[in-house]
């Protein structure tokens, strides 16, 4: 098992298809669902235990070059948070890619 810190410089890319979206409006995804996709990328590419990923409470607009800030933590240390930025790209209808970069250092403890 590799610790979460071993993944902090990695970038993750995975295409997603969204079902049930309208043809002309901006695609929206619940933040919890988007966070799940971000976590899936880490698990699939790095073969690690599923991290805890939170991306706020507001729906995420799936638009070209949009950036989304999320927090990562490991299930063993859920209070140690790492900031991340996910960039959405290659949006074509209901298909898109994401690339996530996670900070090397955790957020300061409160």
Residue pair 72/93 in contact (Cβ under 8 Å)? The answer is: no
CA distances from 23 to 1, 5, 26, 97 (A): 42, 40, 9, 18
Q: What is the largest CA-CA distance in the chain?
A: 44
For 29-55, how does the pLDDT look when each residue is reduced to its tens digit (9 = 90+)?
Answer: 999 999 999 999 888 877 888 999 999
DSSP β-bridge partners for residue 86? 68, 100
pLDDT value at residue 15: 41
| pLDDT surpassing 50 at residue 104 | yes
Residue pair 72/55 in contact (Cβ under 8 Å)? The answer is: no
Model pTM? 0.76
């Amino acid at each position: 098992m590799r610790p979460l810190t071993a993944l902090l410089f990695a970038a993750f890319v995975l295409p997603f298809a969204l079902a049930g979206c309208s043809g002309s409006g901006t695609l929206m995804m619940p933040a919890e669902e988007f966070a799940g996709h971000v976590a899936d990328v880490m698990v699939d590419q790095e073969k690690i235990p599923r991290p805890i990923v939170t991306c706020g409470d507001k729906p995420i607009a799936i638009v070209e070059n949009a950036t989304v800030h999320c927090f990562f933590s490991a299930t063993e240390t859920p209070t140690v948070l790492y900031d991340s930025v996910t960039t959405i790209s290659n949006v074509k209808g209901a298909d898109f890619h994401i690339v996530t970069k996670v900070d090397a250092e955790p957020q300061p403890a409160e």
